[in-house]
């Protein structure tokens, strides 16, 4: 939480796929120690925005600033190198490998003599820090519950010590208790000073963890709410474009 | 199976999900986690059945012959295990073994090459074939089944060309023949046995100490001592039986040596970890930055190389290479062996030890039925039935895993 400079800021970002304008002139920013929820209806541009941050798509127009400096994110490795980690909805875990093996997949320690002890110790420290509830770090990931798998995926994204963590629908398809587990981890990320961007459809979850709620509608910013000064109805109105008090800054009146 | 040493409890709270009972042996057995134990039991049952019919089956002479017969299939099966771990298949290993043995035989017996160079040329020919097949498979995205099926058809043709008109080349070179007919003295056998046991004990106990020093959980000392004791009994028993006959065969050292090398590669190196990852979820592996296609090509190169080595050992034992070398049931036995022992056909699960254990199972059936005077027809049918049973067990284990919420 140092200063007021956002760790990541998008200015005037636009992106189109052929005739489809997925993002138009979007300003988005997130600060360290802040959880920003990214919401919007299907097709509102959430995924495109996240993929722009993660380097999967590059923006047609606009600037991306990282820690105040303009950067170019041309590919996923650029994003990773900057310190932006993204956890996609399908998690991309290997069910036949155990927790430690999954965490260090692709960045194992010791090419010709794996240092299992060191990797397991770091895994234990990391999971402990996140208060993750996994009994046996040597159990196969396929044996874990949905919430635990999500936690493993999040923990894996933290290994490179990123500044920004982007979570795509982390609580989709999870039960109540599992959701609580995952939200607990998100709160830990904020306490540790990470900037967190969460895509979600579930407003209850969002209001539980988010500091700010950023609404996209039809590729445009349709509202930027402070979570403790707004109601669910306001957010829903911004998502759908219905009239409820102020319906966002710019997107009002296009229905 | 990776050695599931134990778990460091990471902040266990009352709110945890389904906790796994850690020592639920029966459940793990049914779900196929203890495949090695299963195959050892199968082997014991087979041996007991044949012994009850014919006492000579468990004589030291016959057991020595049995392991010698198992070496060629076992060596080829090591490569097959790696391919199966990827979730792929290599149908060309039999054909490659025949072709590479033929190349070696022609170079040494007809062109006067030194045996070492001849063997190296045969082995490298295998590596090159693997590079070719693996590259076609990854470059064009053709299923490995089809690429290697083409190899299965094509390489025997090359083998006929290499062998020339006579169609048979007798091996007389003492070095090549010696690969399967060298036996070491009793003393050497015991030295190897104690070195092996000492090394295993050392690695196990030092590993435990290191874990404890780092504050990680470690299996209790008693369990490890028991494990070391079991290994010692098996190793000493094997050497005792072999010494009772002609002594420790070089061929067994070669087979066990390759198993140990590839056991290390698959379980203790980054490359081995990546093989399991690609077999488990190739998309996840790709996103983790693993060069998936490179892993695949290297594994196909290893498979063909091991096929060549197995072919050379088979030729050494037969004292000849002919037009039918590597044909017939050789391919199917090499694929059946690891599967019988518990390596999954679905990828991501298996162990190099399955090559050795499965080859012993298959060779025990074959050897025992020969001893009892059954005809080849019955032998084939029984081997087929055992393979089918093994695959059914694998499928049931898989279903049990899924029922228990595991994929």
Q: pLDDT band at A249, cuts 50/70/90? A: very low
Share of chain B above pLDDT 70, in %: 90
pLDDT at position A250 over 60: no
- The residue-averaged pLDDT of B184-192 equals 96
Q: What residue segments make up the domains of chain A, in order of their start?
A: 8-240
The predicted pLDDT at position A243 comes to 60
Q: How confident is the model at residue A104 (pLDDT cuts 50, 70, 90)?
A: very high
Mean of pLDDT values over B351-355: 95
Query: Which residues in chain B are contacts of A105 at CB distance < 8 A?
Result: 273, 277, 284-285, 288, 290
For B6, nearest residue in chain A (alpha carbons): A138
Q: What does pTM read for this prediction? A: 0.88
C-alpha B266/C-alpha A96 separation (Å) is 14
Q: What is chain B's mean pLDDT, rounded?
A: 89
pLDDT band at B405 (very low <50, low <70, confident <90, very high): low
Given CATH 2.40.30.10, say whether it is the number of domain A8-240.
Answer: no
Angle at B120 between CA B118 and CA B123, to 5 degrees: 110
Nearest to A114 among B270, B289, B404 (CB): B270
| For A105, nearest residue in chain B (alpha carbons) | B288
Predicted pLDDT of residue B35: 65
Residue B290 has pLDDT above 70, yes or no: yes
Rounded Cα distance, B356 and B363, in Å: 11
pLDDT tier at B215 (50, 70, 90 boundaries)? Answer: confident
Cβ neighbors of B299 (< 8 A, separation 6 or more) are: B82, B83, B85, B86, B88, B134, B275
pLDDT of residue B236: 96
- Predicted confidence at residue B16, as pLDDT, reads 38
Q: Determine contact: A226 vs chain B, CB below 8 A.
A: no
**The dihedral of CA A213, A217, A219, A221: what is its sign?**
negative
Q: How far is B120 from chain A (nearest CA, A)?
A: 25
Q: What is the pLDDT of residue B27?
A: 62
**Within B54-143, where are the H helices?**
60-85, 93-105, 115-140
pLDDT at B219: 87
Domain boundaries of chain B, sorted by first residue: 59-185+247-403
Count interface pairs A-B at CB distance under 8 A.
Answer: 138
Q: Residue range B277-295: average pLDDT?
A: 93
Q: Quick one: pLDDT band at residue B224, thresholds 50, 70, 90?
A: very high
pLDDT at B241 over 90: yes
| pLDDT for A171 beyond 60 | yes
Interface test with A, best of B281, B349, B404 (most A CBs within 10 A): B281
Give per-residue pLDDT as tens, B142-175: 999 999 999 999 999 999 999 998 889 999 999 9
- Looking at residues B387-395, what average pLDDT do you find? 82
Second CATH level (architecture) for the domain B59-185+247-403: Orthogonal Bundle (1.10)
What is the DSSP track for B203-257?
HHHHHHHHHHHTT-----HHHHHHHHHHHHHHHHHHHHHHHHTT-EEHHHHHHHH
Predicted complex ipTM? 0.85
Ramachandran bin of B405, using left for φ above 0, alpha for ψ from -120 to 50, beta for the remaining angles: left
Query: Average pLDDT of chain A?
Result: 88
Q: Among A220-229, B288-297, B379-388, where is mean pLDDT lowest?
A: B379-388
pLDDT in tens, A11-44: 999 999 988 889 999 999 999 999 999 999 888 8
B41-61: average pLDDT: 93
Q: Tell the burial category of A25 from Cβ atoms under 10 Å away from its Cβ (0-12, 13-18, 19+).
A: middle
Q: Supply the angle between the helices A116-129 and B186-213 in degrees, to the nearest 10.
A: 20
Residue B10 pLDDT exceeds 70: no
For residue range A113-126, what is the model confidence (pLDDT) as tens digits? Answer: 999 999 999 999 99
Q: Which residues of A touch B4 (CB under 8 A)?
A: 98, 138-139
Q: What does each C-alpha distance from A189 to A100, A135, A164, B327 come to in angstroms?
A: 20, 21, 10, 60
Q: What angle do CA A74, A79, A80 make, to 5 degrees?
A: 135
Under an 8 A CB cutoff, do B269 and A134 touch? no
pLDDT in tens, B96-146: 999 999 999 999 999 999 999 999 999 999 999 999 999 999 999 999 999
Cβ–Cβ of B288/A134 closer than 8 Å?
no
- pLDDT at site B9: 37
Q: How far is the C-alpha of B385 from the C-alpha of A67, rounded, in Å?
A: 66
Mean pLDDT to the nearest integer, A187-206: 92
Which of residues B292 and A250 earns the better pLDDT score? B292
Residue B39 pLDDT class (50, 70, 90 cuts): confident
Position B2 scores a pLDDT of: 37
pLDDT of the residue at A130: 85
Distance CA B144, CA B129 (A): 14
């Amino acid at each position: 939480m140092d200063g007021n400079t956002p760790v990541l800021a998008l200015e005037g970002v636009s992106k189109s796929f052929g005739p489809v304008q997925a993002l138009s002139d979007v300003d988005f920013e997130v600060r360290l120690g802040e959880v920003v929820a990214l919401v919007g209806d299907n097709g509102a541009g959430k995924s495109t925005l996240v993929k722009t941050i993660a380097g999967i798509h590059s923006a047609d127009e606009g600037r991306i600033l990282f820690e105040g400096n303009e950067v170019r994110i041309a590919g996923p490795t650029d994003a990773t190198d900057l310190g932006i980690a993204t956890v996609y909805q399908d998690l991309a875990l290997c069910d036949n490998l155990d927790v430690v093996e999954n965490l260090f997949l692709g960045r194992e320690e010791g090419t010709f003599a794996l240092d299992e002890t060191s990797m397991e110790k770091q895994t234990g420290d990391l999971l402990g820090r996140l208060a993750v509830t996994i009994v046996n770090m040597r159990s196969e990931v396929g044996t874990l519950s949905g919430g635990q798998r999500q936690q493993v995926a999040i923990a894996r994204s933290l290994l490179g010590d990123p500044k920004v963590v982007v979570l795509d629908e982390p609580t989709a398809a999870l039960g109540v208790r599992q959701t609580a587990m995952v939200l607990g981890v998100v709160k830990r990320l904020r306490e540790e000073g990470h900037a967190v961007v969460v895509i979600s459809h579930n407003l209850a979850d969002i209001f539980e963890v988010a500091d700010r709620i950023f609404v996209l509608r039809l590729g445009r910013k349709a509202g930027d709410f402070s979570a403790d000064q707004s109601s669910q109805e306001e957010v829903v109105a911004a998502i759908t474009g219905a009239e409820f008090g102020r319906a966002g800054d710019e997107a009002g009146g296009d229905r | 199976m990776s050695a599931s040493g134990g778990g460091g409890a990471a902040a266990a709270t009352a709110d945890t999900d389904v906790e796994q009972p850690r020592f639920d042996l029966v459940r793990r057995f049914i779900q196929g986690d203890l495949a090695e134990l299963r195959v050892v039991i199968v082997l014991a049952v087979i041996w007991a059945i044949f012994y009850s019919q014919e006492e000579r089956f468990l004589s030291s002479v016959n057991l020595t012959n049995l392991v010698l017969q198992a070496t060629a299939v076992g060596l080829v099966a090591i490569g097959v295990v790696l391919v199966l771990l990827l979730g792929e298949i290599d149908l060309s290993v039999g054909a490659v073994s025949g072709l590479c043995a033929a190349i070696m035989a022609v170079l040494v017996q007809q062109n006067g090459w030194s045996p070492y160079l001849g063997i190296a040329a045969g082995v490298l020919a295998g590596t090159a074939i693997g590079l070719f097949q693996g590259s076609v498979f990854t470059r064009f995205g053709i299923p490995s089944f089809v690429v290697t099926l083409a190899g299965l058809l094509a390489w025997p043709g090359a083998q006929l060309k290499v062998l020339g008109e006579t169609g048979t080349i007798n091996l007389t070179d003492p070095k090549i023949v010696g690969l399967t007919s060298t036996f070491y003295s009793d003393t050497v056998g015991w030295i190897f046995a104690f070195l092996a046991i000492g090394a295993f004990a050392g690695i196990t106990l030092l590993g435990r100490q290191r874990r404890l020093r780092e504050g990680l959980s470690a299996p209790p000392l008693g369990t490890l001592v028991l494990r070391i004791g079991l290994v010692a009994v098996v190793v000493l028993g094997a050497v005792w039986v072999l010494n009772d006959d002609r002594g420790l065969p070089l061929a067994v050292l070669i087979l066990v040596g390759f198993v140990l090398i590839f056991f290390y590669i698959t379980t203790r190196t980054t490359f081995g970890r990546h093989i399991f990852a690609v077999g488990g979820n190739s998309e996840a592996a790709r996103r983790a930055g693993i060069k998936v296609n490179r892993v695949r090509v290297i594994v196909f190169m290893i498979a063909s190389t091991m096929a060549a080595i197995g072919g050379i050992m088979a030729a050494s034992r037969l004292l000849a290479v002919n037009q039918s070398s590597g044909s017939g049931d050789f391919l199917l036995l090499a694929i059946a062996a690891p599967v019988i022992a518990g390596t999954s056909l679905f990828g991501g699960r298996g162990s190099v030890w399955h090559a050795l254990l499965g080859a012993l199972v298959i060779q025990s059936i074959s050897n025992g039925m020969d001893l009892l005077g059954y005809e080849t027809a019955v032998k084939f049918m029984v081997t087929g039935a055992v393979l089918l049973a093994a695959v059914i067990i694998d499928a049931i284990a898989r279903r049990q895993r899924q029922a228990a919420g595991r994929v």
